[in-house]
Amino acid sequence: MKINTQLICVAVFSGLIASQSSVAANNGFSDYWLTPSSQKIQNTSGSDKLSVTTQWVRKISDRSDHLLFRDEVISGYAATNLGSSLMAFSTTYSESEKNAAMGIDLGKLSLYVNVGSGESYARNTSDYSGMDPYAYHGGNFSDFSYSGAALGLDVGRNGHMQFGQVTVEADRLETRRSSYLDFSNEYIYARYTHVERGEDTAGYGIEAGMRVGRLDVGYQELSTRTDVSTRRIRFNWNKSIRDRYWLDLSIHKNALVNEYTDTVVMFSWQRTLGVRQLINYATDIGGETAGEAEDNRGIGMGRGLMIGAGVAAAALVASSGSRAQDTTERVVVNEKEAQHTAARTVLNVFNPQSVTINREYGGYIYQAADGSYAWTEPVIGEVARVSIPAPRFLIPEGTTRRATYHTHAGPDPRYDNENFSNTDLEGGRSLGIDVYLGTPAGAFKYFDVVADQVSTLGTINH
């Protein structure tokens, strides 16, 4: 078990053109798990009949240790008053994913439908933001699409309950289904999600949170039948409109991959620029008016439209299995891509260290029984060599060696550090496994032992 402590300090500029109707589009709980290291720009316009909210979020990085990416997500929300009813639309778009939802509020009763598609796993939703999908399925990615429907019911004082189901389909994989029950009001929320793959239960998700003054507290759990789970609790304190603080405590467990059994402690601080505009925005929406009932109804609709994508994300993360977990055969190239991704990830982490101390690093890429890919902690060698012990001494029992990885330390005119050496290639041939190399200039190179061919797969950190 290891403890990772991270400090994130983020300055955010927000430009806001506000009307009171924007409350209808945004419930503070709707993006509670959104990565703090994000930038938002939001423009809101509205009238008595129509309110429109658009939002741009740049995800600077995923908060996972093992998977980093940059993404820009554009979302929109529109609600129109139809007299005794309210109709709302929601869309979210990024390079790797898109989804849309529509809902109609008929008073106490609401109906929702949603559709979406994407690559690998769901990123646009905030529900499982920061979770590392490698802990669940080792990068066995596949394009997916989903659709769902739900029924909402207003209960109690400003309370909203929703029950629905989302079906997720992916090429050559079994169909996933998520059934869920969700409740929320201005101060608390709770959701239970049951995930099925084919005819079997794949896992479940639990979320709950409450608001006390300026402090929000949330708990989240995602567990699978293969003994893979993530449990985390978040404390979010809004000290002022300028400063926000997060404290996250997480426990990640994967019985088949030792690297993913760890505890993470993270503290994040966000400072917002453009405070004058934010203060004006708070003043505009802070008071109660005769339209309070309409706004409260809109809060339920806004959150209701967002839930389907989050439930689809639970199905994708908890059940995006490997060939061992699915009855349908996967595309072989996906397994090779997962191997490449594991090698790229570990070299991204350790190649800069190797260059800095001018020592070679090396280890193994291996595949666990659930099909996921992981790596051994690197052995640190010398300036021009690293001796990696036999696989049986490094890779966990019950896993299969797939490749070796190593670096070439820092730039040195005595050696051709930007290319594989003959020793590197012969080592791969003698073991019968592929070889990956990270160079001082940041090249990511690959030796395919079966094809006996060297190629460059791109660049890495250096």
Cα–Cα separations (whole angstroms), residue 125 to 37, 131, 434: 15, 12, 36
Tokens for 36, please give them.
Answer: 């703090």
CB 166 within 8 A of CB 311: yes
| One-letter amino acid of 341 | T
The residue assigned the tokens 């940059």 is 70
* Nearest-angstrom CA–CA distance, 218 and 188: 9
Tokens for 319, please give them.
Answer: 């059940």
Look at the domain 3-319 and name its fold: Porin (2.40.160)
* Nearest-angstrom CA–CA distance, 357 and 350: 11
Q: What is the pLDDT of residue 27?
A: 54
For residue 110, report the phi and psi dihedrals to the nearest 5 degrees: -130, 145
Closest CA to 322 of 229, 151, 413, 202: 202
Tokens for 142, please give them.
Answer: 């596949």
Q: What is the pLDDT of residue 15?
A: 35
Percent above pLDDT 70 for the chain: 73
Using a cut of 0.95, tell me whether the model's pTM lies above it: no
Q: What is the pLDDT of residue 273?
A: 61
* Nearest-angstrom CA–CA distance, 441 and 460: 9
CB 409 within 8 A of CB 383: yes
Q: What is the pLDDT of residue 123?
A: 74
Tokens for 39, please give them.
Answer: 């930038």
Q: What is the pLDDT of residue 327?
A: 46
CB 444 within 8 A of CB 456: yes
* Nearest-angstrom CA–CA distance, 324 and 201: 16
Which residues, 6+ apart, have CB-to-CB distance to 313 below 8 Å?
121, 122, 125, 127, 128
How many CB atoms are closer than 10 A to CB 305?
29
How many CB atoms are closer than 10 A to CB 139?
26
Q: What is the pLDDT of residue 182?
A: 95
Which residues, 6+ apart, have CB-to-CB distance to 240 below 8 Å?
none
The answer to whether domain 3-319 and domain 332-459 are alike in fold is no
Q: What is the pLDDT of residue 386?
A: 94
Q: Is the dihedral of CA 280, 284, 285, 288 positive or negative?
A: positive
Residue stretches of the chain with pLDDT short of 50: 1-26, 61-68, 275-295, 322-325, 327-333
Domain residue limits, the chain: 3-319, 332-459
CB 447 within 8 A of CB 365: no
* Nearest-angstrom CA–CA distance, 337 and 335: 5
| CATH architecture under which domain 332-459 falls | 3-Layer(aba) Sandwich (3.40)
For residue 123, report the phi and psi dihedrals to the nearest 5 degrees: -110, -30
How many CB atoms are closer than 10 A to CB 208?
16
CB 59 within 8 A of CB 69: yes
Q: Which H or E run contains 235?
A: strand 228-237
Burial class (CB in 10 A: 0-12, 13-18, 19+), 454: middle
Q: What is the pLDDT of residue 259?
A: 52
The residue assigned the tokens 């699978």 is 224
- The angle subtended at Cα 169 by Cα 168 and Cα 173, nearest 5°, is 125
